[in-house]
Structure 1
Amino acid sequence: MEVFLMSDLEIHIDFACPFSYLGGEKYLQFLEKNNQPLDKFRFRSFQLQPNDNNQNPSYLDNRMKGSNFNSKEEYISFFNNGIGKAANELGLHYDVEHIVSKNSINAHLGLQFAIEQGKQAEYFREVMAGHWEQGKDYFDITYIEGVLRSLNLDVESFHQHLEQYKQGVADDIMLANQRGIHSVPTFYKDRVLLNGTGSDDIFETF
């Protein structure tokens, strides 16, 4: 059965959220399996911790704080058997021990530029993989510049319009608030919200 998808579907994501990577990748793979172009939807920026001051850059240490886990090894096992296993099913391999936990704003600025340039899917995959699988620091603007260059995008143009992309992030966050979105990933279409990472069956009828 051929699946036809509406172009008004949007996915609210945060690069700091492991489930956003899963949800976005699931939908991209769904499009690919159905021979659909990867621009038939739009990512929307969202920040779970917009005021993160980057003082505690260890994702693992941050997750341990206030938790009921007795050791890092216990949490790593919990992570790998839960989120990690779900990621593996998509061909992703989270490296929880080396994830850099910082403010995601610069990753979102790059996303706004990539959306404008028609490269949102490629950018999403590159930055998410860098963050969750390779221990990259997406707050480091030189890293974001490197990703943009790898996609043959004009870094100078990115910096020239940086204020525009900052406003784009702010507008997306305001839109999420108007839609009653407080967690990510959240799929949105025709005033209907779908929370969570979704599935092929859900995507076919959403």
Structure 2
Amino acid sequence: MKIEIWSDIACPWCFIGKRRFETALEGFEHKDQIDVEWRSYQLDPTLPDHYDGTETEYLSRIKGMPQDQVKQMFGHVTAQAAGEGLDYDFDKVVVANSFTAHRFLHLAKEHGLMDQAKDALLSGHFEQGKDIGDTEYLVSTGVALGMPEEEIRETLAGDRFAAEVRADIAEARALGVNGVPFFVLDRKYGISGAQPAEAFAQAIRQAWNERSPLTVLPQSASADGAVCGPDGCN
């Protein structure tokens, strides 16, 4: 069964949701038969590469909320993150456009390191105050994961994987996704938000149990129905 997850590195609930989803998946008896695919999404594609201001100032401006109210919201999110073993520090968050980082994640996916890279960038952004728009930070992160430095630099210097990132975002729109994290189970069920692990576990079990078995139609007696198998053709 396939589970697709649309998320943005600049989304605090996406890291929390990732942890809760992983907890649910770890307790699922058929977890080795679940294919998890991370998909790109941008909460604010209009952001400049680097924003001259704090996360509090940025959200206050785009949401039209007083800064004190934004800080209260951060306090709630920080407490929820702590419940998942995450140590958020919104005072250190560097506000930056995430498009280049998403291209980096697609490169990591090509190397079979998407999950590890996503963890590293989310932690870097929300826990360590790293700049996810900075090439040197992305290069050092990739190298630490075992990716070739030259390939990372070549990818980030050009527009490689830009089409893939845009395709992910366009597909999210087509599916009606207007917020992340968003989980799509077997292209049958959609789950919006960082739900409790128990809710994810229930949804995974339900989607697994409702998978449609393949129905093989009776073969025709004509030669057009001939097939080849491990033991030859007939």
> Which TM bucket (shorter chain)?
0.7 to 0.9
- Matches of 1:10 and 1:68 in 2, distance apart? 35
- Given that 1:28 and 1:121 are in contact with CA atoms closer than 8 Å, whether structure 2 keeps it comes out as no
Segment drifting more, 91-100 vs 150-159: 150-159
The answer for unaligned runs of 5 or more in structure 1 is 1-5
- Matches of 1:202 and 1:166 in 2, distance apart? 34
Confirm whether residue 123 of structure 1 aligns to residue 89 of structure 2. Answer: no
Report the 3-state secondary structure (helix = DSSP H, G, I; strand = E; otherwise coil) of the residue aligned with 1:12.
strand
Task: Quote the offset at 1:133 in angstroms.
Answer: 0.7
Which of 191, 194, 201 in structure 2 is aligned with 1:194?
191
Q: How many residues were matched structurally?
A: 196
- Given that 2:11 and 2:180 are in contact with CA atoms closer than 8 Å, whether structure 1 keeps it comes out as yes
Distance 1:191 1:160, change over 3 A: farther
Task: Quote the offset at 1:128 in angstroms.
Answer: 0.3
CA deviations over 1:171-199 (Å, ceiling 9, x no partner): 11111111111111100122321101122
- Matches of 1:39 and 1:158 in 2, distance apart? 29
Which amino acid in 1 is paired with 2:148? D
Report the 3-state secondary structure (helix = DSSP H, G, I; strand = E; otherwise coil) of the residue aligned with 1:97.
coil
Name the structure 2 match of 1:51.
46
Larger radius of gyration: 2
- Given that 1:11 and 1:42 are in contact with CA atoms closer than 8 Å, whether structure 2 keeps it comes out as yes
TM-score, scaled to structure 2: 0.76
Which amino acid in 2 is paired with 1:202? A
- Matches of 2:53 and 2:44 in 1, distance apart? 13
Confirm whether residue 152 of structure 1 aligns to residue 146 of structure 2. Answer: yes
Which amino acid in 1 is paired with 2:74? F
Which of 160, 167, 178 in structure 1 is aligned with 2:163?
167
The answer for unaligned runs of 5 or more in structure 2 is 204-234
Which amino acid in 2 is paired with 1:59? E
Q: Percent identity?
A: 27
TM-score, scaled to structure 1: 0.86
- Matches of 2:38 and 2:89 in 1, distance apart? 24
Name the structure 2 match of 1:3.
none
Name the structure 1 match of 2:222.
none
- Matches of 2:178 and 2:145 in 1, distance apart? 31
- Matches of 1:31 and 1:118 in 2, distance apart? 19
